[in-house]
Every structure is written in C-alpha cells, then in structure tokens.
Amino acid sequence: MDDSNLKSFVGPLGQTEFLTLLRERKLAFFPGCGSPRFETLLNWETLNYLLDSATLPLSALRVLRESDPIPTNIYVRQGRVDVAALSKLLDRGVSLIFNKLHEHVPALRALCKSLARDTFEPIKAAAVVTSGRGGALECHYDPEDLIILQITGTKRWQVFNSPARSPEGPPIFDQVLQPGDLLFLPARYWHHCENGPHRSLHISLIFTRLNGRHLMTELVSQLSSDETFSRPLTRHSRPEALAEHETALKACLVEAIQGISLDRFLTKRAASGPLEGIQLEPRTNQAHDV
C-alpha cells in the first residue's frame, strides 16, 4: 500500500468525503482492525536510528511524564542522546515526543507533502512514544487539527468538550486505539491519553490551518509601520488633540480592514513557505510542543 497519499489511509472514506470532514472539523474515528498499515511510515528501527546517529536534533526531542520534563543531564552526554540512559528511562515509564519528523523520515515527508497538496495547508509530523501507565501529557487541548495514526501498542483516548476553559462532564469519545486506527481530532478538544500494557507509538499529523489570528497578526504588522500608530498616546497637552489622535487611529483601522483580501493573504502565505511554531496548550496555559 502506498502511504504517501491521502486516499491510502482514510479507510472507507473517499478523498472528497475526507476533505469535507476536514472542512467541517468533526471529531471522527476510523478503526483499522489491528492492521499494521502505518508501519511503513515509521517504526522502532527508524526511531532508534534517529537517536543513535544523532540525526534528530536534541531540540526536536522531549522526554517527559504527564507534561513534567525529565532533566536533560540524565539522558544527554556530550551533546548527544545517551541511548542506554534513555532506554532505562523508558523502562521506568517516561514518554518521548519526536517533533519535526517529516524533516528526517522520507515516508513522512512524502505523506505531508501529499496532504499539503490536497488540503492547501502546511502539514507537519510528530511521534509520541509512551511506556508505563499514564501518558506523555496531562489533559490538554491543541490549537491545531490533528490526525492520529496508531502504529504499535494501544492507547486509550478520552476526548472531552470543545472549546472550553477546562474539561467538563464525561468524555464524548472514549476509545482504545489499536494498530491501524485513525483519529481525527479538531483543534481545542480537551483530551488525555492512557497507555496500554505495552509501549505505544503513534504519529501526529499536524494541520497548520490559517485562521483569523494569522490574518490579524499580518494586519498588526502592516499597521506598525504607519506613523499614526507610532505616535505616543500619553503625550497630548489638550483633550482635543487626544480626540483627534483617536479619530486618526480609527480611520486607519477602518481603511486597513476594508482593504483585507483573504485571497491575497492566502496567496502571499502560500508563497512564503510553511508556518512554524506548532504548540500545545495545557491546563496551565503553558505551551508544549506536539
């Protein structure tokens, strides 16, 4: 099976139906019936090679248990991962998060490029290895849409309400993912994972969808070069001068907003390359990488 295209892993859905699912952003689960269909994308041998050969930068690796990071001096020696020390940590139940895997694994790079062509969105790939009880992260939500591909082992996913300040009530999705299972998790759904009896490995495909926040950031960047927005607000000697400044600011804002073109914005962002800075938002509002 060719895993480098969208159609190969969306199960019973056709490409059109799956793209509709992405547009509607609905929580969806597609069982794989225990199939090893995702092992061609990533396996233990590939992860061991990335660690042992120092191919993966240390900045792309996180070692933690329920969001608590493990001090790097325990598993890093002379700027490289001490594989033996890391293996001992895994035996004690820590979790690993491998970020930016699409930059180092050809099969994931091909898949992300294929998805980007189909969705017109930059796609990244990360992997999560869990061992022992619990999971890599405490209950949290992601600001990005995710596709979860369970490769080996099992993991219980509990998904709660969305969006919300904190999880409330029973989970709306409570399922143990088996090898070959696929879960589409829209942004801002609170969720927590509980590892099964053996080590688990899953891939997270991260959809960096452009939204209104990106548009506003672009607008603020444009306005920052306008002299009207550089003038101090607190240095007016007369109330009338302050009122005039307010009127000028509002006029600039209205003109900028009226000049917004989503088509032009999307074309410009597409030409500038993929977005950076995928993060997770836990209960404490401290950001985590995927």
Digit-coded pLDDT (tens) for 242-259: 999 999 999 999 998 999
- Please report, rounded to a whole number, the percentage of residues in the chain having pLDDT higher than 90: 48
Report the distance separating Cα 235 and Cα 242, nearest Å: 9
Residue 116 has pLDDT above 70, yes or no: yes
Show the tokens assigned to 100.
């930016």
CB of 141 within 8 A of CB of 286? Answer: no
CB of 152 within 8 A of CB of 179? Answer: yes
Show the tokens assigned to 63.
């070692």
> Which DSSP string corresponds to 206-255?
EE----HHHHHHHHHHHHTTSHHHHS-SS--SSHHHHHHHHHHHHHHHHH
For the stretch 76-83, contacts whose Cβ atoms lie closer than 8 Å and that sit 24 or more positions apart, written own/partner, are: 80/54, 81/51, 81/52, 81/54, 83/48, 83/51, 83/52
Number of helices (H) and strands (E) in the chain: give both, helices first: 8, 15
Element (H, E) at 204: strand 200-207
CB of 179 within 8 A of CB of 145? Answer: no
Digit-coded pLDDT (tens) for 268-280: 876 765 443 333 3
Show the tokens assigned to 151.
């490769």
Report the distance separating Cα 87 and Cα 71, nearest Å: 15
Please report which confidence band the pLDDT of residue 101 belongs to, taking 50, 70 and 90 as the band edges.
very high
Digit-coded pLDDT (tens) for 9-44: 666 677 788 888 888 888 999 998 888 889 999 999
**3-class secondary-structure state, position 271:** helix
Report the distance separating Cα 128 and Cα 130, nearest Å: 6
Q: Which residues of 218-228 are buried (b: 16+ CB within 10 A; e: fewer)?
A: ebeeebeeeee
Nearest by Cα to 150 from 178, 189, 114? 178
pTM of this prediction? 0.78
- Chain mean pLDDT for the chain: 84
Mean pLDDT of 115-130: 88
Query: Cβ contacts of residue 48 below 8 Å, gap of 6+?
Result: 83
Residue 12: the pLDDT is 64
